């Protein structure tokens, strides 16, 4: 078994190398590559995707996995060997269901669609993007057919991002979340004038924004020799290797949204950075799921980055960079301003309270698109109607509506629910962190966040994909998905800010 295991690790390392190379090319396309390079990049990504798929689904991998079956019960379930075999088997059995040609088509379609999405959003032209959306949906329907039978068509897509999760479970969690948020949003709406965020709009020179972001990211744990930050249209984080973490952001000269985008992407980057190095070049060497991943980014952006103790430490840095805009505020005033609740069009700029409504909207639309009850051509009108229903605002154009996210251009359908699931998980983790690190506020005021990083490394990050998301959550907080800790956190925080009745 030892020789076979070594051979499996070697083969999986080659697959991971190819996938990492494709990831770097995708990062380059979204940050540095000239737009005209899209067609060639589509070919390159399609080839690498095909090569990785061929190597991973080779008969040799299947034979090696079969060799291990008689020994699996005797292995310590928590060991690297048992975890690697278990996760590889699950990935392999999913992968062999999907024809190689379909994998290549999906990769190529995504690479071609992204620059079109950018232009369509820039020109607010849904018609320009529609053929690419139609192709993405059709490809996903073909993909779903590979996994029949499923309880619901959307299950096959959701499982790619949140392994083991079912659409019905997400629907139930979201219903409980929505029922808790609606009265909170309504109560805050009665106190809209209690928070003034006018100082956050104006002249914020980009060079100074970058200086502030660098100071805060370094306090978070950013290391110049292992991390970098670049500009992109839609912020994301990626990892080229265990010491190669790449964050992106999107600066605007009239606001500070990029600052919070950097905090958000740092959470993703830290997760990848703190996965045990022993798991590198294996299928275990990344986050457990996108929902768990999002719990990390939302925690650093909101629970730390929008907390009063944090700004009691860092507001002087921001005020000194922008005295003309922020000179009249103190730390508490800035804290209140960056936590203003206001229904808005753009998901990535939404406040903590209304954000999940954006996700529930997308979750419902995606189910309808893949089950055929909503035609892609009608997605714009359906989007606008749900924005009106959930947030009570009109959508002026598709750039701020159905075209605002890049996910559909890349075929990432099934991804959106993980954002709200991440918020739910962050609430559960935060509840435990507050119990186990009772002096966290004091440490945050001092700019000392090492204990938080270490807690997250020990309890979440180091495990990578050794455990299914539900098992990791059970090990960490002692239970399954529960939106109540998040709702309690939001009621307490915004109840105080808006002076709501207890």
What are the structure tokens assigned to 483, written together? 């939106």
CA distances from 361 to 109, 357, 446 (A): 25, 6, 39
**E-state strands within 299-403:** none
The helix or strand, by DSSP H or E, that contains position 340, with its residue range, turns out to be none
Q: Which domains does the chain have, with CATH numbers?
A: 2-96 (no CATH), 167-497 (1.10.1370.30)
- What pLDDT, on the 0 to 100 scale, is given for residue 72? 83
**pLDDT per position as a tens digit, 144-176:** 999 999 999 999 999 999 999 999 999 999 999
CA 226 to chain centre: 21
Question: Which are the contacts of 94, defined by CB distance < 8 A and separation ≥ 6?
Answer: 147, 159
HSE-CB of 479 using CA atoms within 13 angstroms: 12
Kind of pairing, strands 244-249 and 227-231? parallel
Which positions are annotated as active-site residues? 265
DSSP string, 14-72: HHHHHHHHHHHHHHHHHHTS-GGGHHHHHHHHHHHHHHHHHHHTSHHHHHHHHHHGGGG
Number of other CB atoms surrounding residue 164 within 10 Å: 13
Residues 484, 485, 491: CA angle, nearest 5 degrees: 85
CA distance 190 to 417: 29
pLDDT at residue 73, rounded to an integer: 82
Q: What is the distance between the alpha carbons of residues 481 and 468, in angstroms, rounded to a whole number?
A: 13
**Model pTM?**
0.93
| pLDDT at 46 (0 to 100) | 87
Tens digit of pLDDT for each residue in 389-407? 889 899 999 999 999 999 9
pLDDT at 348: 84
Q: Is 55 in contact with 7 (CB distance < 8 Å)?
A: no
List, for the chain, all residue ranges whose pLDDT scores fall below the cut of 50.
none
Cα four-point dihedral sign 436, 438, 443, 444: positive
Q: How many CA atoms lie within 13 A of 179 on its CB side?
A: 8
> What is the reported pLDDT for 424?
98
Measured from the Cβ of residue 192, the count of other Cβ atoms closer than 10 Å reads 11
Calpha distance 402→382 (Å, rounded): 9
Q: What phi-psi label fits residue 147: left (phi over 0), alpha (psi between -120 and 50 degrees) or beta?
A: alpha
| Among candidate residues 270, 60, 288, 64, the one with its CA nearest the CA of residue 164 | 288
pLDDT in tens, 332-352: 999 999 999 999 999 988 999
Looking only at the bridges linking them, the beta strands covering 244-249 and 237-241 are: antiparallel
Name residues whose C-beta falls within 8 Å of residue 438's C-beta, 6 or more positions apart in sequence.
none
Helices and strands in the chain, H and E counts? 21, 3
């Amino acid at each position: 078994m030892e020789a076979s295991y070594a051979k499996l690790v070697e083969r999986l390392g080659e697959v991971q190398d190819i996938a990492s190379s494709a990831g770097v090319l995708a990062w380059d396309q979204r940050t540095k590559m000239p737009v005209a390079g899209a067609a060639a990049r589509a070919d390159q990504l399609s080839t690498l995707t095909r090569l990785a798929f061929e190597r991973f689904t080779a008969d040799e991998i299947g034979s090696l996995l079969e060799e291990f079956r008689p020994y699996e019960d005797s292995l310590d379930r928590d060991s690297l060997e048992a975890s690697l075999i278990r996760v590889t088997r699950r990935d392999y059995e999913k992968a062999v269901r999907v024809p190689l040609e379909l994998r290549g088509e999906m990769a190529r379609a995504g690479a071609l669609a992204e620059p079109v999405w950018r232009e369509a959003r820039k020109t607010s032209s849904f018609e320009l993007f529609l053929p690419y959306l139609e192709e993405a949906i059709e490809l996903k329907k073909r993909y779903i057919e590979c996994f029949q039978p499923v309880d619901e068509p959307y299950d096959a897509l959701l499982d790619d991002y949140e392994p083991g999760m079912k659409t019905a479970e997400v629907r139930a969690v979201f219903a409980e979340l929505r029922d808790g948020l609606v009265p909170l949003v309504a109560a805050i709406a009665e106190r809209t004038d209690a928070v003034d965020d006018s100082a956050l709009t104006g002249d914020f020179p980009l060079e100074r924004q970058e200086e502030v972001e660098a100071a805060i990211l370094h306090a978070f744990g950013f290391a110049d020799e292992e991390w970098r930050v670049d500009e992109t249209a839609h912020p994301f984080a990626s990892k080229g290797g265990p010491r190669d973490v790449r964050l992106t952001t999107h600066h605007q000269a009239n606001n500070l949204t990029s600052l919070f985008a950097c905090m958000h992407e740092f959470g993703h980057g830290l997760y990848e950075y703190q996965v045990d190095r022993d798991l590198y070049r294996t299928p275990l060497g990344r986050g457990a799921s996108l929902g768990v991943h999002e719990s990390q980014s939302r925690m650093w952006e909101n629970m730390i980055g929008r907390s009063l103790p944090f700004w009691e430490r860092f507001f002087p840095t921001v005020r000194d960079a922008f005295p003309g805009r922020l000179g009249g505020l103190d730390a508490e005033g800035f804290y209140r301003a960056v936590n203003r609740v206001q229904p808005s069009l753009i998901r990535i700029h939404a406040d903590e309270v209304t954000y999940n409504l954006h996700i529930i909207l997308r979750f419902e639309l995606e189910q309808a698109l893949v089950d055929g009850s909503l035609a892609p051509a009608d997605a714009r009108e359906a989007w606008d109607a749900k924005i009106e229903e959930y947030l009570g605002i009109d959508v002026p154009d598709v750039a701020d509506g159905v075209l605002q996210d890049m996910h559909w251009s890349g075929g990432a359908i099934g991804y959106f629910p993980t954002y709200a699931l991440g918020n739910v998980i962050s609430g559960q983790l935060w509840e435990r962190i507050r119990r186990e690190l009772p002096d966290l506020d004091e440490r945050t005021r001092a700019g000392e966040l090492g204990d938080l990083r270490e807690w997250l490394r020990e309890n979440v990050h180091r495990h990578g994909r050794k455990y299914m998301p539900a098992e990791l959550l059970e090990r960490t907080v002692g239970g399954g998905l529960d939106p109540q800790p998040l709702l309690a956190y939001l009621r307490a925080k915004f109840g105080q800010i808006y002076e709501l009745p207890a």
